[in-house]
Structure 1
Amino acid sequence: MKKRVAFYTLGCKLNFSETSSIGRLFQDAGYRSVAFNEEADVYVINTCSVTDNADKKCRKVVKEALKYSPNAYITIVGCYAQLKPKEIAEIPGVDMVLGAAEKFNIIEHINSLTKQQKAIVHNAPIEETNIFVPAFSIGDRTRTFLKVQDGCDYSCTFCTIPLARGGSRSGAITDIVRQADEIAASGVKEVVLTGVNIGDFGVRNGRREDRFLSLVEALDNVKGIDRFRISSIEPNLLSDEIIEFVARSKRFVPHFHIPLQSGSNKILGLMRRRYKRELYIERVEKIKQLMPNGCIGVDVIVGFPGETREDFIETYEFLNRLAISYLHVFTYSERENTIAAQMEGAVPGSARSERSKMLHILSDKKRRAFYESQLGSTVEVLFEGDVKDGYMHGFSKNYVKTRVMYDPLLVNEIKTVKLIELSENGEVEVEETSASLSVANS
């Protein structure tokens, strides 16, 4: 019998793409992939350092794996494994910890599946992590995440990612296009470009050799992919040329996710962000000028050290005025080895929670307003294979989420529908389909 391997991913789209690629390494080595809640010989847990309670989450997932298979070999990889290898090695049941430079050589490191008395740790200094390893997810979603860039050269005072992933580096455009061709051959219709700082694409061997605009121009010619979606991109790297290209592209969709983090220039300075709020306004106005129906998502952090009530209200009012579509709200939490953790002016936890709640309510308001603005329009929806309470979901090009009673014939299909009416529970009735569809709040 083939040995069985199961995976669990914490964190971002980039982690999902890398987990999928690690899975293919195991398949090439003769392993059979099984669901995480099945008995397996090896469990690989890909961790994150950005979200809260990384240690608690890692421990819980390890405990769950051992519940399904008490004698399984447990390997931990990812950002948290790079930052806290010794801490992870002490978690009961963990057999191996692999840092950023070692995780893609996981097959070579697993010489035996015998449980260890003490976890084996392979964790080179992050400075030695300077090679770009390609990755993409496939087989688990209608939408595929394609890694085009890794690492970051920025020095935001709250962030541990440079310590966990190293400096900025990218693949060659020709190699990424080749991977997109491979994805297209699998029947996937939408590809999301992902990375740590994708707007900084083009750095290889410590030198800039390409630009992100050149990459998207090349990918726009890949046949067989109906949609390309750009994931989070820094406002100072989202140039007018990129926005103008997306506006005229047939494949790149009118959806941007642009981190803001704060609407206060004072707080942006404390965070060491590379822009001010005035530039952010310019980017939003440029998108809406060329793509009035474009969807704009925003990352924002509340409770950063030194953020007064007045600073937060400035952020709230700034966001309220902007023509944006939704927010991803993060409550600041201290991270070891960051400058922000040593800053004065810590915001009480109760104030952080209150501010987070206010922005979550604002996000709901913004999303509802955006959906209402789309009523009466005819859109193309790509349906995914997930099923919940008898419904399946799909997204329009501009990220309007739809749902329909489950129909296997709709999976991975693009259908043209008309958005009719927003109901009290946030759903929009549609017509011109073979099934009863609705748009649901995500």
Structure 2
Amino acid sequence: MNAAPPEDGGPAPAEALSRGPVRVLSFGCRLNTYESIAMRELALRAGHERAILVNTCAVTAEAERQARKAIRRAAREHPGAPIIVTGCAAQIAPEAWAALPGVARVIGNAEKLKPEAWAPAAPPAPVPDIMAARETAAHLVTEFAGRARAFVQVQQGCDHRCTFCVIPYGRGPSRSVPLGAIVAQVRAVLEAGYREVVLTGVDIASYGTDLPGRPPLGQMARRLLALVPELPRLRLSSLDPAAMDEDLWRLLAEEPRLMPHLHLSLQHGADLILKRMKRRHGRAEALGCARRAQALRPGLALGADLIAGFPTETEAHFAQMLALVEEAGLSFLHVFPYSERPGTPAARMPQLPPTLRRERAARLRAAGAEAAARFYNARLGQEESVLLESPDRGHTEHFAPLRLVGSAGRHGQLLRARVTAAGPDGLLAEVA
């Protein structure tokens, strides 16, 4: 579960990415958002009319519940409109999704970005085995539904088998996009007016293991920045701390265009629970990764994915995760209460009561809110580079939300602002 989730860390909400001839409801991570935009363009080019595309997520049971609810609502509110379902949940259990009211087709994850899959006359076909997928094609997406930053997919799939996670069964094996295609995509979004690019995938730290020469993520990012010197800001989505390569560490230390913000897929802070999750790092490795990043890039902001209420988690285990927030200097948390995923090893372990999972998740989110507040207060009086997503709101290089007071800019503008106040939801600033 390394693909970056929604910024608020809650269950994956539906995002209405478009209206008109093809309506899109996208659930889950940034990669799903990117793919939903690409699929909408494919469906429009194929001539779909009144179609409703639902891109599902399988990370939690709540994400699946929301997608099913959205499909039933769409069937009621738009009778006769063909509903096309895809995404990780649909890949894992296609028959169940095909049986929902109004669903005309289910398209597998390996096929959903192929133009031929969107031919209106194409008959419904069985969803192929995603484990047979071997290629990740680059898809030219230059419009991101009013966003100020562009996502570029560089990797797909996952070769690891964390005991809580079904995503490998929805995404298939790890596949990487060659550098040339990434460079072309980045140049295209810059020409479209974007000033920041986010490299995204399911497990981007595994980038390159399937390519000739096995170029790691850091080498790819370094070459990308060299080949596209006009790119002002580059950001990375979630990283597995066990797979950080030396090129990436050097880039973090030396390249100002790589944003001073890392989001780590930590998942827990107790060694026993990490072992039962089948993570590839322990508590010491997580702390070492965080401290090395902060030493190389003073002032760096760190975020993390954390799961509360994993099977067999004791209060002492949970206390170690709470302590990790402060010890590792984490500022932004994506917190998930553990959710059983059918067929996973963790679902067969002794389970904690759902009420206890939710209670611990709430305590962890409260610790995250305190950590974010400390980070915001430390920025008082600082001058920040801000990418505006609306005339008066945007995010800093550290991905801290910021609102301008007494002045405004324009969507997509990069400007300098001095922080004048900090609140629980971010920074207030004046144009410098």
What TM-score, normalized to structure 2? 0.89
What is the match of residue 243 of structure 1?
249
Question: Quick one: which of 153, 157, 161 aligns to 2:167?
Answer: 161
Does residue 303 (structure 1) correspond to residue 320 (structure 2)? The answer is no
Relative to structure 1, is the Cα distance of residues 48 and 251 closer, same or farther in structure 2, using a 3 angstrom cutoff? Answer: same
Shift of 1:262: 1.0
Give the distance between the partners of 1:15 and 1:369, measured in 2 at CA.
Answer: 32
Q: Which amino acid aligns with 1:179?
A: Q
Residue ranges of structure 1 left out of the alignment (5+ in a row): 32-39, 114-118, 386-390, 434-442
Matches within 5 A, 1:249-288: 249-288=255-294
- Say if 2:29 is the partner of 1:12: yes
Of structures 1 and 2, the one with the larger relative CO (CA 8 A, separation 6+) is 2
Q: Deviations over 1:363-422 (max 9, x none)?
A: 00000001111111111101013xxxxx74201111121123798852110110111222
Q: Following TM superposition, by how much is the alpha carbon of 1:214 offset from its aligned partner in structure 2, in angstroms? A: 1.5
Partner of 2:16: none
Q: Match for residue 436 of structure 1?
A: none
CA offsets 1:14-40 (integer angstroms, 9 cap, x no match): 011111111222343356xxxxxxxx6
Q: Corresponding residue for 1:431?
A: 430
For structure 2, list consecutive stretches of 5 or more residues without a partner in the other structure: 1-19
**Aligned partners of 1:204 and 1:239: how far apart in 2?**
16
For 1:66-81, list aligned pairs within 5 A: 66-81=75-90
What is the TM-score with the length of structure 1 in the denominator? 0.87
- Identify which of 307, 318, 327 aligns with 1:321: 327
Q: CA offsets per residue over residues 92-136 of structure 1, 9 Å max, x none?
A: 1101001122212365454349xxxxx935301122222212244
Q: In 2, Cα distance between the equivalents of 1:335 and 1:406?
A: 49
Q: 1:111 aligns with which of 113, 120, 143?
A: 120
The separation in 1 between residues aligned to 2:278 and 2:47, in whole angstroms, is 47
The answer (yes or no) to whether the contact 2:310–2:338 under 8 Å persists in 1 is yes
Q: Which residue of 1 aligns with 2:93?
A: 84
- Corresponding residue for residue 418 of structure 1: 418
What is the CA distance between 1:276 and its match in structure 2?
Answer: 0.9
Amino acid at match of 1:184: L
Task: Tell me how far apart the structure 1 counterparts of residues 406 and 43 of structure 2 sit (CA, whole Å).
Answer: 33
Structure 1, residues 285-333: CA drift from partner, whole Å, max 9, x if none? 1111122211100111111111111111121122232211121111111
**Residue from 119, 124, 133 that aligns with 1:120:** 124
2:107 matched residue in structure 1: 98
Compare 244-253 and 363-372 and name the one that shifted more: 244-253
Same amino acid, percent of matched pairs? 31
Matched residue count: 410
Larger radius of gyration: 1
**What's the CA shift for 1:60?**
2.0
Alpha-carbon offset, residue 50 of structure 1: 0.4
State the secondary structure of the residue aligned to 1:103: coil
2:396 corresponding residue in structure 1 = 396
Tell me the equivalent position of 1:36: none
- Specify the code of the residue in structure 1 equivalent to 2:415: K
Paired residues of 2:205 and 2:243 also in contact (CA < 8 A)? yes
Q: Which amino acid aligns with 2:153?
A: K
| Alpha-carbon spacing, 1:121–1:10, altered in 2? closer, same or farther (3 Å) | farther
SS state of the match for residue 335, structure 1?
coil
